[in-house]
Chain A
Amino acid sequence: MVTYIIRRLIAAVLMLVIVSIATFSIFFVIPRAAGVTASDFANRYVGVKGATAETVKATAEKLGFYDPLVVQYGRWVKGIVAGSEFDTGVDVEHCPAPCFGYSFITKQPVWPDLLDRLPVTLSLAVGASVIWLVTGVATGVLSALRRGSIFDRGAMTVALAGVSLPIFFTGIVSLVFFSYKFGITAPGGSYTPITENPAEWAYDLILPWITLAFLLSAAYARLTRAGMLETMSEDYIRTARAKGLREPRVIVKHGLRAALTPIVTIFGLDLGLLLGGAILTETTFSLNGIGKYGVHAIAVGDLPQILGVTTVATFFVVFANLAVDLLYAVVDPRVRLG
């Protein structure tokens, strides 16, 4: 078990390295192979139009674009692990680990930016996940138990809509109606930290939560329904009833428990994915989370920011994978980790 976890952790770190190399390559190696020079590159980050060749050269030098790529990559990794020194020209600034470097454009360190936005993304993902898990699983269970009923058919139709409607559509429609027309929810862009005012926090986020949860709970309802239909016809359900257990206990402790394994798996992965930034939801509701930050970084080509976001996102996905695998062994005793 311990060796298993260690092995998985090593694999997780490797994964992070691979993803960062891939990101590095996409933004450095590929353009360079296509003939973009270091100066062309630096030109984008000088900040002024029609800069002289010297200024461009100075910028490229300062950003280290003339160094071999391996050196640039190594510098980036070293910053994360050990922190780094940054020469502003006036004096030397220390950037403590984990240092994801400084934005090429705003010249601000990336890590504090990420830390600023993480609570937004976290709030969105965790709040929505509670809603979608509860509603999705409950709907799925009820649908399975009343298979073919009006409830089942209605729920599955709504679920189909939920799976197929894009979030920017449902998000904008709900914003228009609930926030702007009826005024019962907060307008787009509202966010209050939970530490400041928990009630306000929840009020501001309830619409994005529900919109995001609707999309995902639909999938969970379908998954739960399918799982429950299967487990409720198993022999051990008959045994549970033959023991004299009450039906709710048979359904939850025996039926749902066995149907939960795939749900736990998907849930971990979905949550991990969202923690790396709910791009569409954050954009639709103008929430300054990791996702929106990343989109902006890509739009302006700010490599340190892009690398920062992808690394954080990869970390969450890899970590969620590990958590799911461990949880899997807890949920299903037949799974042996070795």
Chain B
Amino acid sequence: MTDEHFLDVKDLRIHFPTDDGLVKSVDGLSFHLERGKTLGIVGESGSGKSVTSLGILGLHKGGHAKISGEIWLDGEELVSASLDHVRSLRGKKMAMIFQDPLSSMHPYYSVGDQIVEAYRVHNKVTKQVARKHAIDMLDRVGIPQPERRFDSYPHEFSGGMRQRAMIAMALVNNPDLLIADEPTTALDVTVQAQILDLMRDLQRDFNAALIIITHDLGVVAELSDDILVMYGGKAIEYGTGADIFERPEHPYTWGLLGSMPRLDREPTERLLPIKGSPPSLINVPSGCAFHPRCAFEPRTHGKGKSEVPELIESEGGHLVRCHLTRDERRAIWETEIKPNLEATL
């Protein structure tokens, strides 16, 4: 059963003991993904998206983090695997693209050398062979004159070019799983679209499983097969792209949809800006972690404040963590939320 999905994360918990208390950055998260498919993980800053992705790559191992749960990748369990084994998979079987390509690339090595290094960790080839391969990759991600640009340093690239180079570096070993953590956040809007297009094309070519992490639902709207909405280290809604965009059921998701930045809309006109700030991960609010900010909390007859809602199936694999009944949620969406959202379209 365990190797049913290509990537299967089960009840993942990543907690950091700190002087102020235990930070529950990821708290019982489950999701799965197949080759060639894309999962979007969406949530506000601090919801645990990056901690989750670093956790899959085993980058919290050996630190002070407390990790439990299971991460199955292609039939192998990674949480209990040795650090050295997970390291050997990094960059080869699973790779990552980071938010800020300038700070994520080493300033003292040329872009080409950094790609060559990524290739040669996992392939015993000469520098010349690796160089040729790296130039091919640079070409593939759309960097003009790749032979010449090979020797450039990251600071000599534009933001978009740097992110392309990062993508080339991540894909150089043809990984089966690619995690992109806010790949476009640091870029201008026009470049963002190009990078997203590029990622979509490359994913098709490489047939990799792709996780795109973002705080902006707009980024994953066209790209994702499935979407996981995170809040305070937990999944609060999980379903297909259609589930999330056409029949979202969680008040927090409604908020995200309402605050989606759009080119044709002034930020001040956002319909349902999410009031308040993200929850503390040390003293998580009682009951539903979202209740201090939720307009519909009064309709749960006090349960929102006292009982932690479970993530339960609404229909056809669409999971929602909310005390409101399915019918209540659907009615609110149809009558109160959707018309307002459409009014501003």
Contact A236:B105 (CB < 8 A) given known A242-B90, A243-B117, A244-B122? yes
A101-134 residues with Cβ-Cβ distance < 8 A to B are none
Instruction: Judge whether B257 is part of the interface by a CB distance below 8 angstroms.
Output: no
Q: In the complex the two chains form, is A239's CB within 8 Å of B98's CB? A: yes
Instruction: Judge whether A94 is part of the interface by a CB distance below 8 angstroms.
Output: no
Which bracket fits the contact residues of A? Answer: 10 to 19
- What's the Cα separation between A236 and B57 when bound, in Å? 15
> A254 to chain B: which residues have CB within 8 Å?
106
> A245 to chain B: which residues have CB within 8 Å?
91, 117, 121
> A244 to chain B: which residues have CB within 8 Å?
87-92, 118, 121-122
Contact of B105 among A239, A331, A332 (CB under 8 A): A239
> A239 to chain B: which residues have CB within 8 Å?
98, 104-106
Q: In the complex the two chains form, is A258's CB within 8 Å of B108's CB? A: yes
Closest to A238 in B: B59
Q: In the complex the two chains form, is A333's CB within 8 Å of B121's CB? A: no
Contact indicator per residue, chain A 232-261, by CB within 8 Å of chain B (1) or not (0): 001110111111111000000010011000
Which bracket fits the contact residues of B? Answer: 20 to 34
> A241 to chain B: which residues have CB within 8 Å?
59, 87, 90
Report the minimum CB–CB distance from B186 to chain A (whole Å). Answer: 11
Closest to B105 in A: A236
Report the minimum CB–CB distance from B175 to chain A (whole Å). Answer: 10
> A236 to chain B: which residues have CB within 8 Å?
103-107
- What's the Cα separation between A235 and B90 when bound, in Å? 16
Instruction: Judge whether B95 is part of the interface by a CB distance below 8 angstroms.
Output: yes
Contact A333:B153 (CB < 8 A) given known A238-B59, A244-B121, A258-B106? yes
Q: In the complex the two chains form, is A234's CB within 8 Å of B121's CB? A: no
Instruction: Judge whether B42 is part of the interface by a CB distance below 8 angstroms.
Output: no
Contact A246:B87 (CB < 8 A) given known A238-B59, A238-B98, A241-B59? yes
Instruction: Judge whether B139 is part of the interface by a CB distance below 8 angstroms.
Output: no
Instruction: Judge whether B96 is part of the interface by a CB distance below 8 angstroms.
Output: yes
Instruction: Judge whether B76 is part of the interface by a CB distance below 8 angstroms.
Output: no
> A240 to chain B: which residues have CB within 8 Å?
106
> B103 to chain A: which residues have CB within 8 Å?
234-236
Report the minimum CB–CB distance from B242 to chain A (whole Å). Answer: 32
A198-253 residues with Cβ-Cβ distance < 8 A to B are 234-236, 238-246
A144-186 residues with Cβ-Cβ distance < 8 A to B are none
Q: In the complex the two chains form, is A332's CB within 8 Å of B96's CB? A: no
Instruction: Judge whether B322 is part of the interface by a CB distance below 8 angstroms.
Output: no
Report the minimum CB–CB distance from B51 to chain A (whole Å). Answer: 12
Closest to A231 in B: B106
Contact of B107 among A238, A242, A332 (CB under 8 A): A332
Residue from A235, A245, A254 with most neighbouring chain B CB atoms (10 Å): A235
Residue from B59, B90, B108 with most neighbouring chain A CB atoms (10 Å): B108
Instruction: Judge whether B100 is part of the interface by a CB distance below 8 angstroms.
Output: yes
Report the minimum CB–CB distance from A173 to chain B (whole Å). Answer: 41
- What's the Cα separation between A159 and B104 when bound, in Å? 33
- What's the Cα separation between A236 and B102 when bound, in Å? 9
B115-130 residues with Cβ-Cβ distance < 8 A to A are 117-118, 121-122
A287-338 residues with Cβ-Cβ distance < 8 A to B are 331-334
Q: In the complex the two chains form, is B108's CB within 8 Å of A243's CB? A: no
Instruction: Judge whether B169 is part of the interface by a CB distance below 8 angstroms.
Output: yes
Contact of A242 among B91, B106, B108, B110 (CB under 8 A): B91
Closest to B96 in A: A242
Instruction: Judge whether B305 is part of the interface by a CB distance below 8 angstroms.
Output: no
Contact of B57 among A242, A246, A258, A333 (CB under 8 A): A242
Residue from A235, A238, A243, A257 with most neighbouring chain B CB atoms (10 Å): A243
- What's the Cα separation between A254 and B108 when bound, in Å? 9
Q: In the complex the two chains form, is B105's CB within 8 Å of A243's CB? A: no
Instruction: Judge whether B155 is part of the interface by a CB distance below 8 angstroms.
Output: yes
Q: In the complex the two chains form, is B59's CB within 8 Å of A332's CB? A: no
Closest to A240 in B: B106
B155-170 residues with Cβ-Cβ distance < 8 A to A are 155, 169
Closest to B83 in A: A247
Closest to A242 in B: B96
- What's the Cα separation between A124 and B92 when bound, in Å? 50
- What's the Cα separation between A145 and B88 when bound, in Å? 22
B137-195 residues with Cβ-Cβ distance < 8 A to A are 153, 155, 169
Closest to B90 in A: A244
- What's the Cα separation between A305 and B98 when bound, in Å? 62
- What's the Cα separation between A7 and B185 when bound, in Å? 44
Closest to B100 in A: A235
Q: In the complex the two chains form, is A243's CB within 8 Å of B169's CB? A: yes
Q: In the complex the two chains form, is A332's CB within 8 Å of B108's CB? A: yes
Closest to A237 in B: B106
> B122 to chain A: which residues have CB within 8 Å?
244
- What's the Cα separation between A240 and B108 when bound, in Å? 13
Report the minimum CB–CB distance from A150 to chain B (whole Å). Answer: 17
> B92 to chain A: which residues have CB within 8 Å?
244
> B87 to chain A: which residues have CB within 8 Å?
241, 244, 246
Report the minimum CB–CB distance from B49 to chain A (whole Å). Answer: 15
Q: In the complex the two chains form, is A333's CB within 8 Å of B59's CB? A: no
Q: In the complex the two chains form, is B108's CB within 8 Å of A333's CB? A: yes
Report the minimum CB–CB distance from B87 to chain A (whole Å). Answer: 6
Report the minimum CB–CB distance from A253 to chain B (whole Å). Answer: 8
Report the minimum CB–CB distance from A229 to chain B (whole Å). Answer: 15
Q: In the complex the two chains form, is A242's CB within 8 Å of B100's CB? A: no
Closest to B169 in A: A243
- Please name 20 further chain A to chain B contacts, defined as beta carbons within 8 Å, in addition to the given A239-B106, A258-B106, sorted by A numbering: A236-B104, A238-B59, A238-B98, A239-B98, A239-B104, A239-B105, A240-B106, A241-B90, A242-B90, A242-B98, A243-B91, A243-B118, A244-B122, A245-B121, A254-B106, A258-B107, A333-B107, A333-B153, A334-B107, A334-B155
The 8 A-B residue pairs whose C-beta atoms are closest, nearest first, are A244-B91, A244-B90, A235-B103, A243-B91, A236-B106, A243-B118, A235-B104, A242-B96
Q: List 17 A-B contacts (CB under 8 A).
A: A235-B100, A235-B104, A236-B105, A238-B59, A238-B98, A238-B104, A239-B104, A241-B59, A241-B87, A242-B98, A243-B91, A243-B121, A244-B91, A246-B87, A258-B107, A334-B107, A334-B153
